[in-house]
Amino acid sequence: MGKIAVYLETDLNNYTLSNVSYELLSKAHQLKISAKEIDCNNNDYEVVGIALGKNIEKDSVKKAFQAGADYFVHIKDDSLDIFSQTVFSLSFIEYFSSNPCEIILFPATPEGRIIAPRITTMLDVGLVADCTGLELIKKNDKIMLAATRPTFGSELMATILSKKNPQCATVRPKTFIADFTLGSENFSDRFFEYKLNYPINETRLKLLRSFFEKETQGVDFDNSKIILTAGYGLYTGKNPEYFIKLEKLAKKINAKFGATRKVVDLGLVPKDNQIGQTGSTVSPDLYIAFGVSGALQHTIGMKNSKKVIAINSDENAEIFKYADYKIIADAKKIIDELMNYF
Ligand SMILES: Cc1cc2nc3c(=O)[nH]c(=O)nc-3n(C[C@H](O)[C@H](O)[C@H](O)COP(=O)(O)OP(=O)(O)OC[C@H]3O[C@@H](n4cnc5c(N)ncnc54)[C@H](O)[C@@H]3O)c2cc1C
CATH architecture of 2-195: 3-Layer(aba) Sandwich (3.40)
pLDDT of residue 200: 85
Cα four-point dihedral sign 18, 20, 22, 25: negative
pLDDT tier for residue 142 given thresholds of 50, 70 and 90: confident
Q: Which amino acid is at 275?
A: I
Say if strands 307-312 and 325-328 run parallel, antiparallel, or are unpaired: parallel
CB 52 within 8 A of CB 12: no
Pocket test for ligand 1, best of 232, 281, 320 (most atoms within 8 A of CB): 232
Instruction: Print burial letters for 201-232: b (CB count within 10 Å at least 16), e (below 16).
Output: ebeeeeeeeeeeeeeeeebebeebebbbbbbb
Whether 293 is in the pocket of ligand 1, judged by its Cβ within 6 Å, is yes
Give the DSSP per-residue string, 154-208: TTEEEEEE-SSSSEEEEE-TTSS---TTSS-S--GGGEEEEE-SS-----S----
Whether 262 is in the pocket of ligand 1, judged by its Cβ within 6 Å, is yes
The pTM for the full model equals: 0.82
62 pLDDT above the threshold of 90: yes
| 231 CA: nearest ligand 1 atom | 26
| 155 CA: nearest ligand 1 atom | 53
Pocket test for ligand 1, best of 172, 292, 303, 322 (most atoms within 8 A of CB): 292
Q: Which amino acid is at 16?
A: T
Alpha helices in 223-325 (DSSP H): 241-252, 261-265, 296-299
Say if strands 142-151 and 133-139 run parallel, antiparallel, or are unpaired: antiparallel
**CA 216 from centroid of its chain's CA atoms:** 19
Phi, psi (deg, nearest 5) at residue 121? -65, -45
Q: Phi/psi zone of residue 73: left (φ > 0), alpha (ψ -120 to 50 degrees), beta?
A: beta
Instruction: Print burial letters for 240-267: b (CB count within 10 Å at least 16), e (below 16).
Output: bebbebbbebbeeeebbbbbbbbbbeee
Q: Phi/psi zone of residue 46: left (φ > 0), alpha (ψ -120 to 50 degrees), beta?
A: beta
Using alpha carbons, select from 34, 68, 33 the residue that is nearest to residue 48: 68
The CATH number of 221-341 is 3.40.50.1220
pLDDT of residue 220: 86
Of all helices (H) and strands (E), which one includes residue 341? helix 331-341
Whether 149 is in the pocket of ligand 1, judged by its Cβ within 6 Å, is no
**CATH 3.40.50.620 domain residues, the chain:** 2-195
Range ranked top by mean pLDDT from 171-180, 204-213, 242-251: 242-251
CB 19 within 8 A of CB 172: no
User: What's the gap in Å between 322 CA and the centre of ligand 1?
Assistant: 14
156 pLDDT above the threshold of 90: no
Summarised one tens digit per residue, pLDDT across range 204-233 is 777 777 777 666 667 889 888 999 999 999
Q: Whose CA is nearest to atom 48 of ligand 1?
A: 293
Q: Residue range 267-283: average pLDDT?
A: 94
Q: Whose CA is nearest to atom 6 of ligand 1?
A: 297
User: What's the gap in Å between 95 CA and the centre of ligand 1?
Assistant: 46
Taking the C-alpha atoms of residue 149 and residue 158, their distance in angstroms, rounded to an integer, is 6
**CATH 3.40.50.1220 domain residues, the chain:** 221-341
Q: Whose CA is nearest to atom 33 of ligand 1?
A: 293
User: What's the gap in Å between 245 CA and the centre of ligand 1?
Assistant: 19
Of the candidate ranges 44-53, 87-96, 136-145, the one whose mean pLDDT is the lowest: 136-145
DSSP 8-state secondary structure symbol assigned to residue 280: B
Q: Residue range 11-35: average pLDDT?
A: 95
Pocket test for ligand 1, best of 219, 234, 265, 277 (most atoms within 8 A of CB): 277
Pocket test for ligand 1, best of 132, 296, 297, 300 (most atoms within 8 A of CB): 297
pLDDT tier for residue 294 given thresholds of 50, 70 and 90: very high
Mean pLDDT of the chain: 93
pLDDT of residue 187: 83
User: What's the gap in Å between 295 CA and the centre of ligand 1?
Assistant: 6
Q: Residue range 73-89: average pLDDT?
A: 93
Whether 261 is in the pocket of ligand 1, judged by its Cβ within 6 Å, is yes
Summarised one tens digit per residue, pLDDT across range 193-208 is 999 999 888 777 777 7
